[in-house]
Amino acid sequence: MPPRQSARTALALAAALFLGACGSKVSLENFERIQTGMTQKEVVAILGEPTETSAISIAGVSGGMASWQDGATVISVQFVNDKVQAKQLSREAARPQAK
């Protein structure tokens, strides 16, 4: 392999390893960083953009839910007037495969 091509290959391999080591933002550590009273913007700074959202507004009170999912792990956060009111971390157990 020519030196230039092997340098490119090594660089590509190093980049792939670095990106793989970054891991998911949907983790127990990040879940624990979310605190009651945080804004939705602060939560998005920790977890990234949610995979699912819903919102409602009644009589001047707005509320909503946002969920972040990575594989079987889901973080759900409930907001009232743009502030965290509740949070939940769930992990779906692996299902046995049918024979």
Give the pLDDT confidence of 41-53 residue by residue, as tens digits: 999 999 999 999 9
Flag whether 84 is in a domain. yes
Within a 10 A sphere around the Cβ of 63, how many other Cβ atoms?
A: 15
Q: Sign of dihedral through CA atoms 47, 50, 54, 60? A: positive
Domain of 71 in residue numbering reads as 24-91
Q: What is the model's pTM?
A: 0.70
How many domains does the chain divide into? 1
pLDDT at 98: 61
pLDDT at 31: 98
Average pLDDT of the chain, as a whole number: 84
Low-confidence ranges of the chain (pLDDT < 50): 13-21
What CATH number is given to the structural domain containing 40? 3.30.1450.10
pLDDT at 42: 98
Flag whether 17 is in a domain. no
Within a 10 A sphere around the Cβ of 75, how many other Cβ atoms?
A: 25
